[in-house]
Amino acid sequence: MASTMALEIIPLGGLGEIGMNLMVYGYGDKLLVVDCGLAFPNPDTPGVDLIIPDTQFLAENRDRIVGFVMTHGHEDHIGALPYIWPDLEGPIYGTAMTLGLLKGKFREHNLLNRVTMVQVNYRQAFQLGPFSIRYIQVTHSIVDSAALAITTPLGTILHTGDFKIDHTPVGGRPTDLHSLAHLGEEGVLALLSDSTNINRPGVTTSEQAITPVFETVFARARGLLLVATFSSNIERIQQIIRAAVVVGRKVVLNGRSMLANVAVARALGFLIIPPDTLVELRDMGRYPREGLLIISTGSQGEPNSSLVRIAAGDHREIVVQEGDMVVFSSKFIPGNERTIWSLINQFVRDGLEVIHEKNMPEIHVSGHAPQEDLKLMLALTKPKFFIPIHGEMRHLRSHCQLAVQMGVAPANGLVMENGDRALLEADALKIVGSVPHGRVFVDGKGVGDVGDIVLRDRLHLSEDGLVVVVLVVDKGSNQILQRPELLTRGVVYEDGSQGLLAEAKDAVENALALGPKALDFSDEEGAGPREIAQRALRRFFKKRLGRRPAVIPLVMEM
């Protein structure tokens, strides 16, 4: 437990990586949880659906938790909450849009009737244990985003969440610079600030700048027009709909999350759709192709997403053809480039015109603050201490250097990683230890039952394949009674490799005849036919093919 004159700062996700944001603040015997996000799988996590933070530390201290405070509604900030909340419980606080999205998630998990969700208003402080919290409006690529001013007896901490400084956002809700400056005048003990775009120079391009780009691009489309964007980017969806009306196209919404998020945003007044603009997916056949615009999910080429199925010709209602246009109004998120390019190539192969940020940068505007916006945040708040958050190590270190350039004392900037436990006192900030942390994999209905060993096996199978050897042996003597049978998957094409497989069977028979010593088994290992056949095949395929397939021996005793 921390001293009553020190604040604990413990990141369990989001530092040293992109996504999976989860920060814990502790004062006295109380803990405040800020955000609880997920990360999406990558090539190193085959078969995994989602990745969430390891919350063992919170589970061990669940009686200390005073609440969960969410900065905004993106998956990397709220997506893990329905998975970890049942083991922790506690009230959840957020803005209207954030809670609207969370209610849908908790409903899917059959938890909505158990949880208490409290909608908060900007600038109005509320108390959770020793923490007095004020939400400060910021612009981001989802509406109703907030920075958090967290005041403790020690001083005020400003946790920015994801932000940018857009003076003319589509919805007319700019970053509250007045409140940030007022905090700076009152005194900010520590600033924890979004680092995602630290390496991008300049200032934020206003979201409004995309409107004329959409109108120009949409006006030249001749066939069906398909626009892919993030379903959470409500202001972007608003612009797409406005431009569709200008060029005289009806709008079709495609994708489960697109329909859900639009419904929440419309109910809360964040999205205005003119009458007779929307067309149901099932009714789009009644309209000419050149009169329709489809807004779809799947801009990152996610497996089984609507856009991927459209490109593959597997979508039941939407069929694209030569002369149609696809617009990707989204960022190529690092790690997704290969899947996105594969999707684009498929559309181009079929004769579609494809617009994306690489051939038309102005088709997308980032939701994260570039360097000059980050400088402005530092200049307005004038923090004594600084901790960069939300980013890989290269982002965090660059942001810490920027803070020093902006006047933070070099000794007062601290780069942390997941699991670090830092203590902030009135005149000192330092890492004093660590807590349990890591990743938990969600695979189908299982949460945490897939670990690193299982993933290693999956990667092994995907890279080197599988060999099954069937042995029929005498139960009493362990002597082989008939020639081994081999079944391979992902190793060789069996019909064209009968000679090689015959040699592999010979290798097994010879090894069984020579016994354990010939394959370097020790007396302690007690090798039987199963172990001998497995090692013999591993050595055979390594020597002949340079591969290490997984070998599974099946022994039938007669």
Q: Which helix (H) or strand (E) holds 534?
A: helix 529-545
**Average pLDDT in the 66-82 region?**
96
Q: 453 versus 27: which is more confidently predicted?
A: 27
61 three-state secondary structure: coil
**Average pLDDT in the 387-398 region?**
96
Q: What is the pLDDT of residue 460?
A: 59
Please write down the HEC assignment for all residues of 265-278: HHHCCCCCCCCCCE
Residue 256 has pLDDT above 70, yes or no: yes
Give residues with Cβ within 8 angstroms of 505, minimum separation 6. Answer: 483, 484, 486
Residue 44 has pLDDT above 70, yes or no: no
Q: Please calculate the CA angle 78-84-86 and round it to the nearest 5 degrees.
A: 120
Q: What is the pLDDT of residue 449?
A: 52
In this prediction the pTM is 0.83
How many other C-beta atoms lie within 10 A of the C-beta of residue 321?
11
**Average pLDDT in the 424-430 region?**
96
Contact between 355 and 363 under an 8 Å Cβ cutoff? The reply is yes
- Give the whole-number percent of the chain exceeding pLDDT 70: 92
Distance CA 505, CA 458 (A): 26
Lowest pLDDT segment from 221-225, 360-364, 397-401, 548-552: 548-552
**Average pLDDT in the 139-151 region?**
97
**Average pLDDT in the 379-388 region?**
98
**Average pLDDT in the 305-331 region?**
93
Q: What is the pLDDT of residue 131?
A: 98
Distance CA 200, CA 368 (A): 10
Q: Which residues are catalytic?
A: 194, 368
- Compute the CA torsion angle 238, 243, 249, 253 (nearest 10 deg): -20
Residue 499 has pLDDT above 90, yes or no: no
Q: 545 versus 129: which is more confidently predicted?
A: 129
Q: What is the pLDDT of residue 45?
A: 57
Residue 517 has pLDDT above 70, yes or no: no
Q: What is the pLDDT of residue 488?
A: 84
- Residue 432: closest CA among 4, 5, 10, 50: 10
Q: Which of the listed ranges 297-301, 382-386, 441-445, 447-451 does the model predict with the highest average pLDDT?
A: 382-386
Residue 258 has pLDDT above 70, yes or no: yes
State in Å, rounded, how far the first CA of the chain is from the last one: 64
Give residues with Cβ within 8 angstroms of 199, minimum separation 6. Answer: 371, 394, 395, 398
Distance CA 81, CA 112 (A): 12
Q: What is the pLDDT of residue 540?
A: 87
Residue 440 has pLDDT above 70, yes or no: yes
**Average pLDDT in the 50-70 region?**
95
How many other C-beta atoms lie within 10 A of the C-beta of residue 378?
22
Lowest pLDDT segment from 167-176, 199-208, 308-317, 512-521: 512-521
Q: 52 versus 462: which is more confidently predicted?
A: 52
Per DSSP, 390 falls in state S
- Which domains can be identified in the chain, with CATH numbers? 7-203+366-447 (3.60.15.10), 207-359 (3.40.50.10710), 464-557 (3.10.20.580)
Q: What is the pLDDT of residue 552?
A: 85
Residue 556 has pLDDT above 70, yes or no: yes
H-only helix segments in 371-519 = 371-381, 393-405, 452-464, 498-514
Place of tokens 């005073």: 66
DSSP assignment of 178-222, as one string?
Answer: HHHHHHHHH--SEEEEE-TTTTS-S-PPPGGGHHHHHHHHHHH--
Give the burial class of 202: count Cβ atoms within 10 A of its Cβ; 0-12 exposed, 13-18 middle, 19 or more buried.
exposed
Pair of tokens at residue 138:
């910021």
Q: What is the pLDDT of residue 171?
A: 86
- Which pLDDT band holds residue 31 (cuts at 50, 70, 90)? very high
Residue 541 has pLDDT above 90, yes or no: no
